[in-house]
Structure 1
Amino acid sequence: MQDAADLAANARRNATPAAAPLFRRLLGADFERLAPRVRALHARDGGGNHQGAATVECGRHWLARLCARAARLPPAMHGPIAVEIAVDARGERWTRRFGRHAMRSRLWARDGLLCERLGLATFGFRIGVEGGAIAWRVARVRALGVPLPPRWFAGVRAREAERDGRYRFEVEARLPRVGLLVRYRGWLDVD
């Protein structure tokens, strides 16, 4: 007859492994082609906290300022950034702190896309590996639940790469007739 300790050990051995991290699931075998620091940032099941520095540029058009506010984008600045990634059963919650401004978003996978809810907008990105980096490109957008033409967002893109042994990011959002909404770039320490 098995005792409680043996039953618990058998249950652990036979347990279904947890789902792969979000970016690993979306990228599949291409995940292994990522540069080491980029792979390390996205390989953790439990998320993480990272510190670094960023530069943020903002658009000047009044519609750019309105859109930036609706999406809770960061203000223009140059200084410290802290990124907290929390993982749960539904996906990941990212909190990016640009100085004192917090930009929060939720990420999850749906229909092969990386979905991100940012303020009043929800984006669906196609992500792929290019030269060891992750490239994000908009495939669909909804604002307040209303679908918008993806071509309006052709100027929204992001890239995560490794350079000089550091994780680097660059995000730019431009809209037709409005121009630049935001551009931010920088680095994070990733173990």
Structure 2
Amino acid sequence: MDAAVRSLFAQVLGPAFGTLAAPVHALHVAQGMNRYRGEVQVERGSTLLSRLVAATTRLPPAGNGPLCMEIDASPLQERWIRFIGGRAMPSRLWREGDMLCERLGLATFGFRLDVTDGTITWRVARVRVFGVSLPARWFTGVGARESADGDRYRFDVWASLPIAGLLVHYQGWLDVG
């Protein structure tokens, strides 16, 4: 496949992209506007600081229920909107070198992606808020995992910070086929 038409995730992951589980591959190879439906369970932190940080990054509210996810993908960037609990959580993703960057609310994250047994694991390598770099070691409690359960795409996203504690932990599935 020509680099000009390779998906964003195919570019970031390189040869490892071909080893992804079928539902994970299907989600990340699709181009243009796609809508997926599934279910999500969301746990939120309860401290004042965790609620403040969660609000500035537009994290989803606590609860269990339906999830609608819209992804508008091109080889240069992707726009994701997760509709959870009646609220939208938008983000934008793009590539910088071998890193996948995501702008979520006031924060911009740089992630290293690893593939093991068809599963993608996201690890924070860099964080900027208002253009100011923050120590990556503060964000070791932030990450995600994308996997498959039969024909379903599964996700598990967690975020906790020193002092603030748990910000959010959400997990669930999407039908991608």
Under a length normalisation based on structure 2, what TM-score does the superposition of the two structures give? Answer: 0.96
Q: What stretches of structure 1 move > 4 A for 4+ residues in a row?
A: none
Cα contact 1:167–1:188 (8 A) shared by 2: yes
Alpha carbons of structure 1 residues 89 and 35: separation in structure 2 relative to 1, 3 Å: closer
Q: 3-state SS of the aligned residue for 2:5?
A: coil
Cα contact 1:20–1:45 (8 A) shared by 2: no
Following superposition, the deviation at residue 177 of structure 1 comes to 1.8
2-structure distance, mates of 1:90, 1:36: 23
Q: 3-state SS of the aligned residue for 1:68?
A: helix
Find the counterpart in structure 2 of residue 168 from structure 1. Answer: 154
User: Between the two proteins, what is the percent identity of the paired residues?
Assistant: 53
2-structure distance, mates of 1:146, 1:99: 31
1-structure distance, mates of 2:85, 2:138: 30
Give the AA of the match of 2:31.
D
Alpha carbons of structure 1 residues 170 and 188: separation in structure 2 relative to 1, 3 Å: same
Give the AA of the match of 2:81.
T
Give the AA of the match of 2:93.
L
After superposition, residues 58-73 of structure 1 pair within 5 angstroms as 58-73=44-59
Alpha carbons of structure 1 residues 32 and 90: separation in structure 2 relative to 1, 3 Å: closer
After superposition, residues 1-191 of structure 1 pair within 5 angstroms as 18-88=4-74, 90-191=76-177
Following superposition, the deviation at residue 88 of structure 1 comes to 4.0
Under a length normalisation based on structure 1, what TM-score does the superposition of the two structures give? Answer: 0.89
Q: 3-state SS of the aligned residue for 1:72?
A: coil
Find the counterpart in structure 2 of residue 5 from structure 1. Answer: none
Cα contact 1:22–1:109 (8 A) shared by 2: yes
Alpha carbons of structure 1 residues 187 and 128: separation in structure 2 relative to 1, 3 Å: same
1-structure distance, mates of 2:33, 2:24: 13
Give me the CA root mean square deviation.
1.3
Greater relative contact order structure (CA < 8 Å, 6+ sep): 2
Q: 3-state SS of the aligned residue for 1:73?
A: coil
1-structure distance, mates of 2:75, 2:95: 11
Q: 3-state SS of the aligned residue for 1:54?
A: strand
Give the AA of the match of 2:147.
A
2-structure distance, mates of 1:40, 1:86: 14
